Homo-oligomer: A and B are copies of this chain.
Amino acid sequence: MVLVENKQVVLKDFVDGIPKENDMEIKIGKIDLLHPPNDDDNNKGFILVKNLYLSCDPYMRGRMRNFHGSHLPPYVPGQALEGFGVAKVVSSSDPDFKPGDFVSGVTGWEEYSFIRKNEQLRKFVPDDDIPLSFHLGLLGMPGFTAYAGFFEVCSPKKGETVFVSAASGAVGQLVGQLAKLHGCYVVGSAGSNKKVDLLKNKLGFDEAFNYKDEPDLEAALKRYFPQGIDIYFDNVGGETLDAVLANMRIFGRIAACGMVSLASLSGPQQMRNLYHIIPKRIRIQGFLQSDYLNLFPRFVEYVTSYYKQGKIVYIEDTNEGLESGPSSLAGLFSGKNVGKQIIRVAHQ
């Protein structure tokens, strides 16, 4: 037994509304580096990792509720949160992983975690040109969500018009850049002038606007898309989706991504424009990136290549230390982050 302290970000209790910083707390736990907890399996297949970076993602809100009907189980109050992370293998009883290997995948919000091999646990070789944390954003689940959603769900054609909500977020910023690389006209919405400035001047969107400055979203979209919207990559749902429906073109496509669910947690949505679906033959398609994992290698190759050519950029918002975990995650739901929200747990 080698017991060491293991700092954790713990869920205090289930959360019904929007997660707040004090729904979580820092706890100093202990971990036996030689034996996983609840080891029914004689330590078989367990991988002990030191967590380096953790990812704050909107879907995590769903796991903070006391709701078992989702595709992911809720977190356990009193225990560390889980989420995507980049980590370094300390020891392993799985022959595919060796001490010193870098991995990305679902891990605990703590210093050390025992994890097991699974479909989304990936070993990677660090690349001097690519920050480790990018495996949580540009080259991780959010980036892949953008890639699979845009290319596989939106059926984009060169010259089409694309609208992206939450456009400076972890997913949205890549959707817009992929659409530009594909020859589309791209407009993004975001919740601050700083984000709008980044969209226009750093991320290469054709236009961008602050939705908080637009009392009439339908009219705003009409200004930016006088001919209508061919593709809407929906990261927010709710009234934005409703305003978009009125501005869609015939045969338009809507990819429904993560945050619609979150918007809807707050209660019923007043939808005025659903009827546009029929005469405009609109397709709304919900999707999860995990259905497209066979495309992951192609995605990594595509994005890495464009990133190294300087044709894709990626904005991160990095906070230091597990202590920043509760405020970082809560900040996601008030739009405090600018770009992909990352927590740096430890330097290599």
Contacts from A to B (Cβ < 8 Å): 70-71, 237, 241, 256-258, 260-265, 267-288, 291
Contact = CB atoms under 8 A, between A and B. Distances in A.
Contacts of A276: 286
A234 to B, nearest CB: 9
Contacts of A237: 274-275
B268 A271 contact: yes
B286 A280 contact: yes
Contacts of A262: 275
Most chain B beta-carbon contacts within 10 A, residue among A256, A267, A270? A256
A263 B275 CA distance: 8
A307 to B, nearest CB: 28
A279 B288 contact: yes
A290 B160 CA distance: 24
Contact of A282 (B258, B272, B281, B286): B286
Given A280-B286, A281-B285, A281-B287, A265 B275 contact: yes
Contacts of A268: 270-272
Nearest to A71: B279
A275 B264 contact: yes
Contacts of A71: 279
A169 to B, nearest CB: 16
22 contacts: A70-B279, A71-B279, A237-B275, A261-B279, A262-B275, A263-B275, A264-B274, A268-B272, A269-B270, A269-B272, A269-B274, A270-B271, A276-B286, A278-B286, A278-B287, A278-B288, A280-B286, A281-B285, A281-B287, A281-B288, A283-B283, A284-B284
Contact of A283 (B275, B279, B286, B291): B286
Given A268-B271, A271-B269, A271-B271, A278 B291 contact: no
Contacts of A287: 278, 281
Given A262-B275, A284-B284, 5 more contacts: A70-B279, A257-B278, A261-B278, A269-B270, A283-B283
Nearest to A288: B281
Given A269-B270, A283-B283, A275 B261 contact: yes
A283 to B, nearest CB: 5
A69 to B, nearest CB: 9
A277 B260 contact: yes
Contacts of A261: 275, 278-279
A268 B242 CA distance: 10
A270 B270 contact: yes
A107 B13 CA distance: 66
B288 A260 contact: no
A286 B291 contact: no
